[in-house]
């Protein structure tokens, strides 16, 4: 193959976006100069002139500005070298037809944890969509981990397999583009019908009708089972149950298709529910994925795995082949030491006016593109296709002769220590890169070990979660595993970002009420801050990472510290307000402050507009607003949780997001405060404080009743800042005082906020 590789046309291409890189660097230089001027001005003038309480305020403001500057500087590295990539699956397939290469096996790992929050029908849509990927069926295995161990999910998985027996051949025969049945039948097949892709005319239409009926039956069955299941499987059961593994294809009545053609065979579907005991830590999603890695190693042992959250369905059948274009490309400019191909997280339930900035533009449409020009985007939990050996903890082939060698030549004792005492599992690790699938007799014996490797006790004393597999030290297993396991060891990644009108490869769902969004952010922020602040894992102190790429280390560190925005946000939400009430100016160089503010707004507007391919004022405003809100809620509580975790007071938890709400208000662009808890309290309190300070302080200033006899000119920056914050926080004010509907801010939160703001005003105002 090595000799053939030279003649093959590359399967992928990469292009640096030079004009954008130039513009980004220019804006960064301007902003850095302004920020430096403003901070030095504050230090020289303000700090030296202040006395008493003024010193504390000035010091706090300087620290706030320094924190902002620090985070901003880290984040700039992710704009340094934006690139775009393209994959050419037709070239890959042509090379395969010429027998120049073989497609490696691919195991799709899907995780679900709770049939109430993650409706089984949606989970099964994900499973079925993965089975329908455009990939030789004999080389594709789909593994579903059910952390609830729910009989309902198992039943649904069996039904899903039965439906897939019709759906998969249909997709193959008519080259359907959307492998996700619910979406296909909801009208996303228009492209197929209109684009001439659909062959066979009437026959196709008839076939489609037939499959649609099957789908409706499947859907009804599952919905019916869900209704019946209410209270059947208790929370107790979910947290305490045996391991169970079922290879769904083999258990069905019909004969096993061992001899079917590799191309046309049905992909394997395996249901795995790892053992759960109250006393054993289960390590959330990372634990589930590691169990799937082990079970799949025993059954198909594909050298590549595609990881999907249960709510992230395949939206394009082409993605598996696209990922392989990068993995199998050995001619430049293919990335070297590639551990995984990351697809962006995109979502099917976004509203046009995305008030919670659920599109995650900052990450997937901006920073990942920039990181791709360095050493690749950070592992993002779902929608990535990774080398199994890299996840197992191998070093890239550049360092050893080849990853296969590394495990091949490892002593049996060492392998057992790392991977546990299943002899079959150890053998599977050794044989990872021997392309031949195991003999069927061998496979049968291996399957027997499946329950063993899915048990609680299996990992005890092994390297799982530390030296091998997804890492356990952080609840944000994706970020941490990508950084420690892969980038630190010299692996890289590539970003497969579709440029419209290409179909998004995967589409997930985002929470649609404010509380869920904030809880999710709190989890991300606390998990990443715990990594940032840890003495052992801080990305800025990781020598291997710094040696490989300082800018990459900066972006990884940015996410590790992003929760710290809470501190400057708290300063800016209290000090200018209280000082304004007292008639104390905080921005002694108004023009400088205005210029720095304008430059930061402009930089943000450019980022959003580049990502959206056009002036995007509304998205910009939504991001400004949500950023401010999140800083004093998700990020603030993220800091608190991370500190509690560090002190050992309370361990970080993985609060599952609910995928079951309809999100009607979110779709209408109205804030949904239902279920908002104390998490929202700092935001509502600060917003009351700010509004009161603005009104009262202005009145004092205009009426001349202020204690400081200052000109409005000196106070102008503060008046502007307070007005800007009031405008941004309008939905909160409205939710507290103007709205009457059931989704307004809960009355007790409003009352508490007013009381707290009054106390602060009484003490310091």
Ligand X SMILES: O=c1ccn([C@@H]2O[C@H](COP(=O)(O)OP(=O)(O)O[C@H]3O[C@H](CO)[C@@H](O)[C@H](O)[C@H]3O)[C@@H](O)[C@H]2O)c(=O)[nH]1
Nearer to ligand X, 343 or 561 (CB): 343
Per CB under 6 A, 680 contacts ligand X: no
Nearer to Mn ion, 79 or 306 (CB): 306
Per CB under 6 A, 310 contacts ligand X: yes
Q: Which does 449 bind (CB under 5 to 8 A by kind): Mn ion, ligand X, none?
A: none
Nearer to ligand X, 124 or 288 (CB): 288
Residue 456 CA to residue 275 CA, distance in Å, equals 6
| Closest CB 633 distance from ligand X, rounded Å | 16
The β-bridge partners of 270 are: 143, 247
Structure token digits, residue 547: 């040696």
Q: By CB neighbour count within 10 A (0-12 exposed, 13-18 middle, 19+ buried), where does 524 fall? A: buried
As a three-state string, the secondary structure of 491-547 is CEEEECCCCCCCCCCEEECCCCCHHHHHHHHHHHHHHHHHHHHCCCCCHHHCHHHHH
Nearer to ligand X, 520 or 690 (CB): 520
* Active site annotation includes 197: no
CA angle 295, 297, 302 (to 5 degrees): 130
Per CB under 6 A, 381 contacts ligand X: yes
Which residue, 591, 594, 593, 590, is CA-closest to 714? Answer: 590
Torsion of CA 170, 176, 130, 227, to 10 degrees: -70
Cα 497 → chain centroid: 15
Element (H, E) at 48: helix 48-49
- Residues 299-318, interacting with Mn ion (CB under 5 A): 309
| Closest CB 536 distance from ligand X, rounded Å | 20
| Closest CB 12 distance from ligand X, rounded Å | 24
Q: Which of 65, 134, 192, 309 binds ligand X (CB under 6 A)?
A: 309
- Position with the least CB separation from ligand X: 381
Alpha-carbon Rg for the chain, nearest whole angstrom, is 28
Choose the stretch contacting ligand X; rule: CB under 6 A; options: 32-40, 188-196, 206-214, 471-479. Answer: 471-479
Contacts of 90 (CB under 8 A, 6+ apart): none
| Closest CB 414 distance from ligand X, rounded Å | 30
Q: Which of 238, 274, 522, 523 binds ligand X (CB under 6 A)?
A: 523
Instruction: From the candidates 478, 516, 645, 672, give the one annotated as an active-site residue.
Output: 478
**Going residue by residue from 634 to 663, which x/- string records binding to ligand X, judged by CB under 6 A?**
--------------------x-xx------
Q: Which does 42 bind (CB under 5 to 8 A by kind): Mn ion, ligand X, none?
A: none
**What separation in angstroms does the CA of 317 have from each of 5, 204, 474?**
26, 19, 33
Choose the stretch contacting ligand X; rule: CB under 6 A; options: 109-117, 160-168, 399-407, 688-696. Answer: 109-117
Q: Which does 118 bind (CB under 5 to 8 A by kind): Mn ion, ligand X, none?
A: ligand X
DSSP three-state, residue 376: coil
* Active site annotation includes 188: no
Asked if residue 285 belongs to a known ligand binding site, the reply is yes
Residues 659, 311 contacting (CB under 8 angstroms): yes
Asked if residue 228 belongs to a known ligand binding site, the reply is no
Per CB under 6 A, 121 contacts ligand X: no
Torsion of CA 365, 469, 340, 541, to 10 degrees: 60
Q: Site for ligand X (CB under 6 A): how many residues?
A: 23
Q: Tell me, what DSSP letter sits at residue 13? A: E
Instruction: From the candidates 65, 114, 147, 372, give the one annotated as an active-site residue.
Output: 147
Q: Which residues are annotated as a binding site for Mn(2+)?
A: 285, 309
Which residues contribute to the annotated binding site for UDP-alpha-D-glucose? 117-118, 147
Residues that bind Mn ion (CB under 5 A): 309
Residues classed as catalytic: 147, 478
- Which residues contribute to the site for ligand X (CB under 6 A)? 111-113, 118, 145, 147, 284-285, 288, 309-311, 381-382, 476-478, 520, 523-524, 654, 656-657
């Amino acid at each position: 193959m090595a000799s053939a590789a030279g003649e093959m046309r590359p399967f992928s291409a990469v292009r640096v976006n030079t004009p954008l890189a130039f513009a980004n660097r220019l804006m960064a230089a301007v902003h850095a100069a302004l920020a430096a001027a403003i901070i030095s001005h504050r230090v020289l003038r303000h700090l030296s002139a202040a006395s008493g309480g003024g010193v504390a305020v000035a010091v706090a403001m300087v620290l706030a500005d320094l924190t902002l500057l620090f985070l901003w500087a880290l984040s700039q590295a992710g704009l340094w070298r934006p690139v775009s990539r393209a994959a050419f699956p037709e070239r890959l397939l042509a090379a395969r037809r010429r027998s120049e290469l073989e497609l490696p096996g691919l195991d799709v790992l899907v995780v679900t944890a709770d049939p109430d929050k993650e409706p089984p029908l949606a989970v099964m849509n994900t499973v079925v969509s993965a089975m329908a990927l455009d990939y030789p069926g004999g080389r594709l295995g789909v593994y579903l981990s059910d952390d609830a161990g729910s009989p309902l999910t198992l039943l649904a998985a069996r039904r899903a397999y039965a439906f897939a027996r019709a759906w998969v051949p249909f997709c193959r025969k008519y080259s359907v583009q959307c492998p996700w049945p619910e979406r296909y039948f909801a009208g996303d097949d228009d492209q197929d019908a209109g684009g001439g892709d659909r062959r066979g005319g009437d026959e196709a239409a008839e076939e489609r009708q037939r499959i649609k009926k099957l789908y409706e039956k499947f859907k009804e069955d599952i919905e019916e089972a869900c209704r019946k299941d209410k209270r059947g499987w208790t929370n107790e059961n979910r947290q305490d149950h045996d391991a169970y593994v079922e290879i769904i294809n083999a258990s069905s009545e019909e004969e096993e298709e061992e001899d079917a053609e590799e191309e046309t065979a049905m992909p394997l579907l395996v249901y795995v529910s790892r053992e759960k005991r109250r006393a054993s830590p289960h390590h959330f999603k990372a634990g589930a994925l590691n169990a799937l890695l082990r079970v799949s190693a025993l059954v198909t042992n594909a050298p590549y795995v595609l990881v999907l959250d249960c709510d992230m369905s395949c939206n394009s059948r082409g993605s598996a082949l696209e990922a392989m274009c990068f993995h199998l490309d050995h001619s430049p400019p293919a990335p070297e030491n590639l551990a995984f191909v990351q697809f962006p997280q995109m979502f099917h339930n976004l509203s046009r006016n995305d008030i919670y900035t659920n599109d995650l533009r900052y990450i997937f449409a901006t920073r990942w593109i920039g990181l791709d020009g360095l050493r690749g985007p950070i592992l993002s939990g779902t929608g990535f296709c990774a080398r199994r050996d890299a996840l197992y903890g191998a070093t890239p082939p550049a360092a050893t002769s080849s990853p296969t060698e590394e495990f091949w030549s490892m002593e049996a004792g060492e392998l057992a220590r790392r991977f546990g005492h299943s002899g079959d599992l150890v053998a599977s690790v050794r044989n990872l890169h021997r392309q031949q699938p195991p003999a069927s007799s061998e496979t049968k014996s291996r399957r027997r070990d499946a329950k063993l490797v899915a048990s609680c006790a299996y990992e005890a004393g092994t390297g799982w979660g530390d030296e091998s597999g997804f890492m356990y030290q952080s609840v944000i297993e994706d970020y941490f595993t990508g950084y420690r396991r892969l980038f630190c060891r010299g692996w890289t990644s590539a970003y497969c970002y579709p440029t419209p009108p290409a179909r998004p490869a995967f589409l997930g769902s985002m929470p649609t009420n404010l509380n869920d969004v904030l809880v999710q952010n709190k989890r991300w922020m606390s998990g990443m801050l715990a990594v940032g602040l840890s003495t052992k894992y801080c990305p800025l102190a990781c020598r291997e990472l710094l040696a490989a790429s300082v800018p990459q280390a900066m972006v990884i560190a940015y996410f590790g510290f992003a929760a710290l925005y809470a501190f400057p946000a708290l300063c800016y939400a209290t000090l200018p307000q209280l000082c304004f009430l007292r008639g104390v100016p905080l921005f002694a160089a108004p023009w400088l402050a205005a210029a720095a503010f304008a430059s930061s707004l402009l930089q943000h507007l450019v980022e959003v507009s580049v990502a959206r391919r056009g002036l995007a004022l509304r998205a910009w405003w939504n991001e400004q607003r949500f950023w401010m809100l999140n800083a004093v809620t998700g990020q603030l509580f993220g800091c608190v949780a991370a500190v509690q975790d560090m002190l050992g007071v309370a361990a970080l938890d993985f609060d599952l997001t609910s995928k079951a709400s309809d999100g009607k208000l979110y779709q209408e662009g109205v804030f949904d405060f239902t279920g908002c808890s104390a998490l929202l309290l700092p935001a509502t309190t600060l917003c009351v404080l700010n509004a009161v300070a603005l009104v009262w302080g202005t009145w004092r200033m205009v009426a001349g009743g202020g204690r400081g006899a200052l000109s409005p000119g000196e106070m102008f920056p503060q008046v502007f800042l307070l007005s800007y914050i009031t405008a941004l926080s309008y939905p909160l004010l409205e939710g507290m005082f103007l709205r009457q509907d059931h989704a307004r801010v809960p009355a007790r939160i409003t009352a508490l906020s007013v009381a707290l703001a009054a106390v602060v005003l009484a003490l310091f105002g």
